[in-house]
Structure 1
């Protein structure tokens, strides 16, 4: 059939004017007359994606592909939608189809590599991205994505070269500088890591990330907690989108540890508690907490993480802000407060535990994890007088002694402090403390 250009031109004008509802209506009217009109289905998909209705957008892109499978653009957008819906296998299929139709489509090749990483098909991802870097040698993002995969498979030296190439092509590529510094630090090449951070700070003196990471290596001017801007820059939209996949790859066990700790406290599971998920991130603990809650609240500093938490549809309220400030301002009286993998961004725990206690009901329960003060290498001897320290990876470790002291200073009565594996980091277990307490004596 001959495309009816005029209605689609109207739809595109509506999209340009940020009127996706109008664009969708124009497409629907056209599809009543021509239900097999592939481009109308495609434009409708764009309209729905602009409205953040990704599931419906994916359906529309699928119909566009069904009616015209030889369009690389349709296949690419279908891949994007499937990826956003965490339908990664389907996204891979769509991206592969797009690339077969249009090998020069850089975005499809990049995204295919990232999807393969998410599926833990890292060798395939490295092959895809190595070829992409060869075909697009001047694209910084390609070298960056390749470096991430190479680091994932343990090819650290080649990863360092790829990060350096990305920075050479784009000196303002902060994520490449960040990952390069962390890769050096992870290899205990602290001199090289320090050069990366100092060069970055010299170029961008107001950037909180290199300043924080320098403190983690030198032990000088260590802040009592992570700077708000550091957290926001770390947990941006790019990181948030891949957060849960990254945690899966490193054997992240904090939600399971929180679940077991709550079980040991024998809390009533009749859904009658006022529960706070403090530092909720993307909502990984929400399936555990929801059965206990008549009301479940989440707090996080990162709006990008909160956006994903909201998609779980398990929270009654989500609050954006710095944790201690929000806790200070809350009027609620919580029966259960959980900090799942949150206090590693705090050095001194006394203030945050104190303000948490101030917004709890009597007989409230506290559950949290912390990273245990542990040797960073075989020859290191731990100074037992140290309360906490900032690591070269930007996170804090805490001594068990200090955790107990901070709890009591904040008005909590410790119930249990046990050791457990939190995750894997470069092949080594990260040992944590799983802590339970109550305020029955308050």
Structure 2
């Protein structure tokens, strides 16, 4: 997903992008980035308007579709989010990020088996996509596929050893597999990396180790 410009003065970035859009209304990338920055500062309706305009100007603008879908997902409009990610996939069927996003929507709706299919497709396309492995771990855990959950979690940690979420997911997956010592080690690493581990999980793990 394209990120908004990294700067402490987002107001200046907005001013500059608004100037570009005013002077060149058909500049798709300017509208796209303006939408991202508007989202970053919480001007959501304006973000939607800019991203929608970017798509109107360029119906192949997959990044705008993906980012607009993320906004609608955050708003709870999973139908619109799903539609936008499907639009992106219609343009590029091997867009791994869109498969992950559709999986997340499916998982959010309780359609976990379908979510697993989406995440699995994403890692086939891009084996190094960390979010796909992290979400796949969570989905496998939900359906009590503990061995597969651990395997997916290990892939995530291998890709990014300092990912706090990957470490926490591995800890949870190992817990359900009964590997409590290794679970504690990874849970502790997740906390060290800044993850806010659920206190109920910590207590449950302590009980197993006592």
Q: Does the TM-score normalized on the shorter chain lie above 0.5?
A: yes
Report the structure, 1 or 2, having the larger strand content.
1
TM-score range, shorter chain: 0.7 to 0.9
Q: Does 2:76 align with 1:120? A: yes
- Which of 166, 175, 199 does residue 216 from structure 1 map onto? 175
Q: Does 2:98 align with 1:142? A: yes
Q: Which residue of 1 aligns with 2:158?
A: 204
1-side partners of 2:106 and 2:135: how far apart? 12
Q: Which residue of 2 aligns with 1:84?
A: 40
1:208-245 CA-to-partner distances (Å, cap 9, x unmatched) read 6365244222232231672335764xxxxxxxxxxxxx
Partner secondary structure for residue 76 of structure 2: coil
Q: Which residue of 1 aligns with 2:136?
A: 180
Contact 1:75 1:94 in 2 (8 A): yes
Shift in Å, 1:206: 8.3
Cα pair distance change 1:78/1:183, threshold 3 Å: same
Cα pair distance change 1:52/1:397, threshold 3 Å: farther
Cα pair distance change 1:110/1:52, threshold 3 Å: same
Gaps of 5+ in 1: 1-45, 233-300, 303-341, 345-369, 374-386, 391-395, 403-442
Partner secondary structure for residue 204 of structure 1: helix
For residues 355-394 of structure 1, what are the structure 2 equivalents within 5 Å? Answer: 370-371=199-200, 388-390=203-205
Contact 1:197 1:213 in 2 (8 A): no
Gaps of 5+ in 2: none
Q: How many residues matched? A: 199
TM superposition score normalised by structure 1: 0.40
1:164-196 CA-to-partner distances (Å, cap 9, x unmatched) read 111001111122111111012123333442443
TM superposition score normalised by structure 2: 0.79
Q: Which residue of 1 aligns with 2:189?
A: 228
- Which of 11, 27, 36 does residue 55 from structure 1 map onto? 11
Cα pair distance change 1:185/1:93, threshold 3 Å: same
